[in-house]
Amino acid sequence: MMNKEQYLLYFIMGSNNTDKDPEEALREAVQGGITCFQFREKGEDAREASGKKELAQRLQVICREAGVPFIVNDDVDLALELGADGIHAGQEDTPLRDIKKRCSGSMTVGVSAKTKAEAEQAVQDGADYLGAGPMFATSTKEDAEAPVGPETVRMLRQSGITLPIVGIGGIGTENAASVMEAGADGVSVISAISRAPDIQQAAQSLRNVLR
């Protein structure tokens, strides 16, 4: 199980989120101080089947050596096959109850939730953490909805949600603090790290504003 501190700088990446070799990108991000990693192989030119699995395995090794939790987006089969530390599902992905049936209690299970109803349902179904977003405008997720802002994190806290919450979507050094101030335990970031010219430096700068 993940502890709360491990949500602080939650890096997400798939092969199409970086122009670099994904392994090199992840190594640099780890050196910069990410506290958690999610493998999210989705969208245009995403790898499938054995290509996806092989990349996941190589990224998992990097995480394991660094003591960084390795979480798989949506793909329960892959998460189980690799013995991932966790699985994350969106509202349109595999239902949480089905995931919980298949995964042991030692696997961290995250769910995307941005309304009080979605969050309460996720709590009831046994989620371990929530991802709330998009906080700000993002072009990384093709079907991203309108930004809901850090106020949404504040609203979820005021509704009595005590699970760890990570904000996601359009987050960078300039706005990460506002997400934390609203009550988040961490920020989930793709492009601010994966597309940075200096990935290690970008991760480090984010860590510095989160402390």
Give the contact letters, 80-119, x = binds to ligand 3NM (CB under 6 A), - = no: --------------------------------x-------
**Residue among 15, 112, 188, 205 flagged as catalytic:** 112
183 near ligand 3NM, judged by CB under 6 A: no
- 141 catalytic? Reply is yes
169 near ligand 3NM, judged by CB under 6 A: yes
Rule CB under 6 A: choose which of 2, 30, 155, 189 binds ligand 3NM: 189
CB of 105 to ligand 3NM, least distance (A): 25
CB of 104 to ligand 3NM, least distance (A): 26
Give the contact letters, 115-154, x = binds to ligand 3NM (CB under 6 A), - = no: ----------------x-xx---x-xx--x----------
Cβ(139)–Cβ(118) below 8 Å: no
C-alpha closest to that of 166 among 117, 126, 129:
129
- Give the pair of three-digit tokens for residue 70: 């390795």
- In order, the DSSP letters of 39-105 are E---STT---HHHHHHHHHHHHHHHHHHT--EEEES-HHHHHHHT-SEEEE-TTSS-HHHHHHHS-T
In whole angstroms, what is the distance from residue 177 CA to residue 42 CA?
Answer: 28
The total of other beta-carbon atoms located within 10 Å of residue 112's CB is 21
C-alpha closest to that of 131 among 117, 142, 118, 146:
118
Binding site for ligand 3NM (CB under 6 A): 112, 131, 133-134, 138, 140-141, 144, 168-171, 189-192
Q: Which residues participate in catalysis according to the annotation?
A: 40, 112, 141
**Which residue ranges are tagged as binding site for Mg(2+)?**
74, 93
